[in-house]
Amino acid sequence: MSNRKSETSVNGGRRQFLQLTGLGIGAVALAAATSRSARAEDLPHLSPDDATAKALGYVEDSAKADSAKFPNHKPTQQCLNCNFYQGAAGSEFGPCTLFPGKAVHSKGWCSAYVAKPA
């Protein structure tokens, strides 16, 4: 009888451990998602005068890109439809993986533009 009792307590302890682990993982995922969206809104806007922005020809309005300097630029190319843009659809500014810690204008453009996959 003592073997059954110890098996039951081991299985009960194992179940409790798995339940608590699952709850912990869920809480961490929720906290990460919440903090990520809060941070995106609080990012400072990238200035076109920033050294990296200048090097990549960043402009806040794609229509104002220097076509002589960047002949491959097309008016339809905007940060919003670039693979590096991480902002939410409909947002005016959003994070970009090329400019860590800064938010770019969704209608902006830079020479590193890569279209999002369809």
What are the pLDDT digits (tens) for 81-94?
999 999 998 999 99
What are the pLDDT digits (tens) for 97-115?
999 999 999 999 999 999 9
64: helix, coil or strand?
Answer: helix
What are the pLDDT digits (tens) for 8-27?
566 666 777 666 665 556 55
Q: How do the domains of the chain map onto residue ranges?
A: 1-42, 44-118
- Angstrom CA distances, 104 to 19, 28, 30, stand at 42, 28, 26
CATH placement of domain 44-118: 4.10.490.10
Predicted local confidence at residue 95, as pLDDT: 97
Mark out the alpha helices in 1-114 (DSSP H runs). Answer: 2-42, 51-55
HSE-CB at 26 with a 13 A cutoff on CA atoms is 6
Q: What is the mean pLDDT of residues 16-42?
A: 58
Given a contact cutoff of 8 angstroms between Cβ atoms, the answer to whether 53 and 106 are in contact is: no
